[in-house]
Structure 1
Amino acid sequence: MEARHSTLRVEEAEDVVKELRAALAKAGITPPSPGHDPVSPAREVPRPLVEPGRCSVGTARRIAAVVR
């Protein structure tokens, strides 16, 4: 049961990464490597973390502007 729960949480994180990529692309922002942290689901209570990806200062400024 726990393995299934972990799988569902990872799938949810992957879906969120797709949503993040789509939203950023619509705003004209393409960070190089959005993804989910593969280690975070290994916790007792799985909580996958989404990593927006490393980006340039210019991209970070654009992301901040979109968020504002």
Structure 2
Amino acid sequence: MEMPRTSAGDRPARTVQEAVEQLREALREVGIILPSLRIDPVSGAHGDPYALVDLGRCNLGVASRLAAALRGAGGDA
């Protein structure tokens, strides 16, 4: 299944920073803000091309909106 692309992501991200920014914008477009969204400091410390994205923590309301947004996009949340 191909993932839908966001307005900031007309192409797949080439760096972890691009991926984080595309994800941040896509979430913002559906009214979700993950304040702790960032590049994982351990795996991203050395420019690892497979650095992890740390989604951080969120409260119950944000988690519920995130699940609803994923369901609306055809995800299996």
Q: Which whole-Å CA distance do the structure 1 matches of 2:27 and 2:45 have between them?
A: 28
Deviation, 1:63, is 0.6
Q: Which whole-Å CA distance do the structure 1 matches of 2:22 and 2:45 have between them?
A: 23
Aligned residues between the structures: 57
Residue of structure 1 in register with 2:26 after alignment? 23
- Indicate whether 1:37 and 2:52 are aligned: no
Q: Which runs of 5+ in 2 are unaligned?
A: 1-13, 72-77
Residue of structure 2 in register with 1:13 after alignment? 16
Q: Which whole-Å CA distance do the structure 2 matches of 1:29 and 1:41 have between them?
A: 24
Compare CA radii of gyration and give the structure with the larger one. Answer: 1
Q: Which whole-Å CA distance do the structure 1 matches of 2:68 and 2:22 have between them?
A: 18
> Is residue 40–residue 46 contact of structure 1 (8 Å, CA) maintained in 2?
no
Counterpart pick for 1:49 among 48, 52, 73: 52
Q: Which whole-Å CA distance do the structure 2 matches of 1:32 and 1:63 have between them?
A: 13
Greater percentage in helix: 1
Deviation, 1:46, is 4.7
Overall identity of the aligned pairs, in %: 46
Over the residues paired in the alignment, what is the CA RMSD in angstroms?
2.1
